């Protein structure tokens, strides 16, 4: 995995998803870093992503609006923390642009998106870190694996159909 | 001020301290980034800083232990977010090493330490950002300006006595 130096996921507080995908790292990177692409796969259907804002630098905004089938909306504003093109993207829901802390939130997380070139394409890994075990369990019970798993399916579908 | 591009302090949610100091930026940078130096000025007397841990890279630990005159201790673990040598140091109490969110906390803050060379030495600015106006007011009422002001006095005294 292309994880930060010295970092090992915490089995209690982190949720981890790994997939081997037969597309190149560069295509996955584009799908994660261009707003109009993120909008096409980020939110598990039938939800959609009508808005996405990206300022791809540490402290820059990563904002998405997710809309449900009945018109309900959720707005998430986070910021990027580390950007290693075609390798690793780290962002957090715990801070707004400029590294300003967001209001306290039990489910605040930092996500590491790791994209590693392998012979068959890409080893894609998502690590979602929480402050507490309770936060991780709550996120898991809310359907983390189904939701992020469905988003990966949509991500792969998007990359294959647009390449 | 040597603040991040496009950043303007928010008068409601940020606490700002500025001083012109007749020492060079490099000396202030050392005082902020070498643990044994931080221990000498960081905590307003009669409190002391018996421990300090620094891993000077984005996501690296910035940890201090502060000890009161009756032996009471407080431990703060944060991490660095942006490091521009001799210019700007950004760290947060809202995250632990590796960018892991810390447990929710109303007073979580991100601090920008700005060190700008001027003819007479350095323009030194501290911006402490909070998520909410209430958090900023609470921090102010806890004695932010007296405490951080006293620390600046000690910082200047340390730099002048050790140069």
On whether residue A1 sits in a domain, the answer given is: no
| B119-148 confidence digits (pLDDT tens) | 999 999 999 999 999 999 999 999 999 999
**Cross-chain CB nearest to A99 (options B59, B90, B101):** B90
Over residues B36-48, the mean pLDDT reads 97
The confidence score (pLDDT) of residue B4 equals 77
Which residues of chain A are within 8 Å of residue B98 when distances are taken between CB atoms? 4, 7, 129
On whether residue B2 sits in a domain, the answer given is: no
CATH number at residue A120: 3.30.530.20
Which residues of chain A are within 8 Å of residue B106 when distances are taken between CB atoms? 104
- Asked if pLDDT for residue B69 goes beyond 80, the answer is yes
| B78-98 confidence digits (pLDDT tens) | 999 999 999 999 999 999 999
- Asked if pLDDT for residue A158 goes beyond 70, the answer is yes
CB of A154 within 8 A of CB of A143? no
Structure tokens at A15: 């949720």
On whether residue B9 sits in a domain, the answer given is: no
Q: Decide if A98 touches B, using CB distance below 8 A.
A: yes
The confidence score (pLDDT) of residue B78 equals 98
On whether residue B123 sits in a domain, the answer given is: yes
On whether residue B45 sits in a domain, the answer given is: yes
Mutate to test the interface with B, among A79, A88, A98, A127 (most CBs of B within 10 A): A98
Partners of A66 in the β-ladder: A74
**Cross-chain CB nearest to A131 (options B81, B100, B110):** B100
Contact between chains at A131 and B104 (C-beta distance less than 8 A): yes
pLDDT band at A7 (very low <50, low <70, confident <90, very high): confident
| A97-128 confidence digits (pLDDT tens) | 999 999 999 899 999 999 999 999 999 999 99
DSSP, res A104: P
On whether residue A2 sits in a domain, the answer given is: no
pLDDT band at B111 (very low <50, low <70, confident <90, very high): very high
Structure tokens at A47: 């939800």
CA distances from A108 to A114, A138, B86, B110 (A): 19, 11, 32, 16
On whether residue A5 sits in a domain, the answer given is: no
Q: How far is B70 from chain A (nearest CA, A)?
A: 31
Structure tokens at B91: 């760290």
Q: What is the count of structural domains for chain A?
A: 1
**Cross-chain CB nearest to B81 (options A58, A109, A129):** A58
Q: What is the mean pLDDT of chain A?
A: 95
Which residues of chain A are within 8 Å of residue B89 when distances are taken between CB atoms? none
Give backbone dihedrals phi and psi of A55, rounded to 5 degrees, phi first.
Answer: -125, 95
Q: What percent of chain A has pLDDT over 70?
A: 98
- Asked if pLDDT for residue A2 goes beyond 80, the answer is no
What is the torsional sign of CA A146, A115, A105, B52?
Answer: positive
The confidence score (pLDDT) of residue A163 equals 63
The confidence score (pLDDT) of residue B5 equals 72
CA atoms within 13 A on the CB side of A92: 31
Domain ranges, residue B60? 14-162
- Asked if pLDDT for residue B99 goes beyond 80, the answer is yes
CA dist A56 and B105 (Å) reads 27
The lowest-confidence range among A2-11, B23-32, B65-74, B109-118 is: A2-11
Q: Decide if A12 touches B, using CB distance below 8 A.
A: no
On whether residue A42 sits in a domain, the answer given is: yes
| A52-92 confidence digits (pLDDT tens) | 999 999 999 999 999 999 999 999 999 999 999 999 999 99
**Cross-chain CB nearest to B129 (options A58, A100, A106):** A100
Over residues B68-74, the mean pLDDT reads 95
Over residues A24-36, the mean pLDDT reads 97
């Amino acid at each position: 995995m292309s994880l930060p130096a010295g970092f090992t996921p915490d089995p209690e507080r982190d949720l981890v998803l790994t997939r081997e995908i037969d597309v190149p790292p560069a295509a996955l990177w584009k799908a994660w870093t261009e707003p109009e692409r993120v909008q096409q796969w980020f939110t598990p259907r039938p939800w959609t992503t009508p808005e996405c804002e990206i300022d791809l630098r540490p402290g820059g905004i990563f904002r998405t609006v997710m809309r449900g089938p009945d018109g309900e909306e959720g707005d998430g504003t986070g910021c990027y923390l580390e950007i290693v093109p075609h390798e690793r993207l780290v962002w957090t829901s715990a801070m707004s642009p400029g590294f300003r802390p967001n209001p306290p939130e039990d489910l605040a997380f930092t996500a590491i998106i790791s994209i590693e070139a392998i012979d068959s394409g890409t080893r894609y890994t998502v690590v979602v870190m929480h402050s507490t075990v309770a936060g991780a369990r709550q996120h898991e019970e809310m359907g983390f694996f189904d939701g992020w798993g469905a988003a990966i399916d949509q991500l792969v579908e998007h990359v294959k159909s647009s390449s």
